[in-house]
Amino acid sequence: MDEFDPGNEEIMEATFRALGEQGHRNLTIQDIADEFDKSKSLLYYHYDSKEMLFADLFRYISQKFLEELQLTEGSPKAQLHHLIDRLLPGTIDEERYAAQVALLELRSQIPHVDVYAEQYTEIDSLFKRTVSDIIRTGIEQGQFHEVDPEQEANLLVSAVSGMRTRRLTSADFSVEAARQTLFAHLHTRLFKETASYE
Amino acid sequence: MDEFDPGNEEIMEATFRALGEQGHRNLTIQDIADEFDKSKSLLYYHYDSKEMLFADLFRYISQKFLEELQLTEGSPKAQLHHLIDRLLPGTIDEERYAAQVALLELRSQIPHVDVYAEQYTEIDSLFKRTVSDIIRTGIEQGQFHEVDPEQEANLLVSAVSGMRTRRLTSADFSVEAARQTLFAHLHTRLFKETASYE
């Protein structure tokens, strides 16, 4: 995946804010410039079109998402718990909310923008691989029941992904109920009673 | 939910085609008029802004989605199978693909457009209620294991919803694997061996 240039982070934060306020649809580069504290010419120097800026935004958000997929120390059980905590936190701060809204907006453009499609395909695969690797390790260590790691990862990734989108798009969605649903599923289907959390 | 006026169906089909070709972002009402076979003045007569047209498109797509949620005859097991067949078919024709892309695009605008938010919240709730009602009936009839109907519906709705979005946004996504995953889950977790398909 193309690397995101960390020098442009403040521009990305301004883009988040502009997106959070009025959405993707009618956003102009001027709206983003309005949210950007530094010299506007700096913005125009880096990005001469909205398309370039959004392509970089996708890189930036992808990188943030990949950071959330980084495994923590601990048993496979703890790793799955932490992953759900990071991807579906009980409460969500403004910046993360803006990032999730922006990711949803960019994802919705994937059928029309090839560069987004390539990037998202990579993210989706990595997400699935991360989960199936944890499950495989859990089974090998005798802590998880003998499920099909690929199928179980497919179900979990789809459910978490669906919950993240439902959280943004349905007013009645309860993240607490969603988390309980996931943890209950893992405890029934995956974790043996003896599975260690440490 | 507001009713969609069926007299405008051909306009909606033209909107799908225009959306399928170039996406939401820069779409003008003229692009839609270009896809519309009948008099352009008819289009402008019905919709004097893109916002009004998209609000109606959301109604139209919502109605199509609600039709897919209609229960078929048969046992609870058959009903869940058919629901997955309709929501996640093995192959997808052009019109349905365009409808799913359009729904994703409109969903991505929900954080910014209240009228979409209300509509989608209703769809999401109805989807979940449809699934939990089937599960409850299956348990009452002694065909399903005694799961928590709400939690199981929450998991299934999220997984199906996530799979529908992943199908549109990840090139590596296999709908066949996704369907197998769902059916395997239902057979392990929900259906008793004696559950009737008829």
pLDDT tens figures, B107-146:
888 888 888 888 899 999 999 999 999 999 999 999 999 9
- For the cut 60, the answer to whether the pLDDT of residue A92 exceeds it is yes
Write the residue in B150, B162, B180 that is nearest to A161 by C-beta: B162
Can you tell me the distance from the alpha carbon of B190 to that of B80, in angstroms, rounded to the nearest whole number? Answer: 11
- Chain B, nearest residue to A153 by Cα: B181
Q: Cβ distance A149 to A135 under 8 Å?
A: yes
Q: Could you tell me which of B81, B86, B108 has the C-alpha nearest to residue B96? A: B86
A49: which 2 tokens?
A: 């079109």
Tell me the ipTM for this assembly.
0.90
Q: What is the pLDDT, as a whole number, of residue A71?
A: 81
* Chain B closest-CA separation from residue A111 CA (Å): 7
Q: What is the pLDDT, as a whole number, of residue A1?
A: 56
Residues of chain B with pLDDT under 70: 1-4, 24-25
Average pLDDT over residues A72-79: 91
Q: What is the pLDDT, as a whole number, of residue B109?
A: 86
pTM of the entire predicted model: 0.91
* More confident of the two residues B133 and A100: B133
Q: What is the pLDDT, as a whole number, of residue A2?
A: 63
Long-range CB contacts for residues B128-137, cutoff 8 Å, separation at least 24: B128/B153, B128/B154, B128/B157, B129/B153, B130/B69, B130/B71, B130/B83, B131/B80, B131/B83, B131/B156, B131/B157, B134/B71, B134/B76, B134/B79, B134/B80, B134/B83, B135/B76, B135/B80, B135/B190, B137/B76
**Residues A22-41: pLDDT tens digits?**
776 677 888 888 888 777 78
* More confident of the two residues B183 and A48: B183
Could you tell me which residues come within 8 angstroms of residue B126 by beta carbon, excluding any fewer than 6 positions away?
B66, B69
Write the residue in B24, B112, B171 that is nearest to A22 by C-beta: B112
Q: Is B35 buried (19+), middle (13-18) or exposed (0-12) by CB count in 10 A? A: middle
* 3-state DSSP assignment of residue A190: coil
Residue type, A113: V
Q: Cβ distance B47 to B29 under 8 Å?
A: yes
Q: What is the pLDDT, as a whole number, of residue B186?
A: 97
Interface test with A, best of B165, B175, B187, B190 (most A CBs within 10 A): B165
Give percent of chain A with pLDDT exceeding 70: 97
* Chain B closest-CA separation from residue A142 CA (Å): 20
Q: What is the pLDDT, as a whole number, of residue A165?
A: 96
Q: How many CA atoms are closer than 13 Å to the CA of A62, on its beta-carbon side? A: 25
Interface test with A, best of B158, B163, B164 (most A CBs within 10 A): B158
Contact between B109 and A105 using a beta-carbon 8 Å cutoff: yes
Q: How many CA atoms are closer than 13 Å to the CA of A52, on its beta-carbon side? A: 11
Nearest 5°: phi and psi at B191? -75, 130
